[in-house]
Amino acid sequence: MTRPRRRVAAYVIRERAVPELLVFDHVGIPRAGTQIPAGGVEPGEELERAVLREVAEETGLTTARVVRALTVEDKPHPDTGEPRRTTYFHLQAPADTADAWHHAVSGDGGDAGMTFACYFLPLPLQQPLADDQDAWLGRIDHTTDP
């Protein structure tokens, strides 16, 4: 049996009048859909470190902090069918984080060099995210998670 690819995904929340979720769109590739920061875990890398790295690589945001891990999802890749195991995290962004910005993706992944349009959406979301990435948003407890 093939071992699943280890991944992390980040629900980066900015607390304002209503909680807001950091998302991004691929500039020039609308079919990719609206997404949250997510990606592979490097060999030997701790999951919390991986999720912070992915957020920084894909959005440029370096001021988010990990609140807690929410769940682990085993789900095949939507295009290849390859097994994936994704740990979803709740992160908190400072309330004064910009509303929107463009970021050239860093790192050595397949999206390196692409430009992402990053922005916050109020919760609850009005539209689903790509690849059902919003499935676990209900695990965030805004009354007890700081």
Contact indicator for 131, 78 with CB cutoff of 8 Å: yes
- Domain assignment present for residue 63? The answer is yes
CA distances from 122 to 24, 70, 75, 107, 126 (A): 14, 20, 27, 29, 9
pTM for this entry: 0.93
DSSP 101: E
Nearest to 24 by CA among 107, 114, 119: 119
- The per-type count for the chain, helices as H runs and strands as E runs, is 1, 7
What are the φ/ψ torsions at residue 145 (nearest 5 degrees)? -75, 130
- Domain assignment present for residue 144? The answer is no
Tell me if residue 114 falls in helix, strand or coil: coil
> How many separate domains does the chain show?
1
What are the φ/ψ torsions at residue 96 (nearest 5 degrees)? -90, 10
pLDDT, one tens digit for every residue, the chain (146 residues):
578 889 999 999 999 999 999 999 999 988 999 999 999 999 999 999 999 999 999 999 999 999 999 999 999 887 788 889 999 999 999 999 999 999 998 877 778 788 999 999 999 999 999 999 999 999 998 766 65
- Domain assignment present for residue 109? The answer is yes
- Domain assignment present for residue 122? The answer is yes
Structure tokens at 10: 């980040």
Full domain range(s) for residue 102: 5-139
CATH of the domain at 87: 3.90.79.10
Nearest to 70 by CA among 11, 23, 129: 11
Distance between start and end Cα atoms, the chain: 40
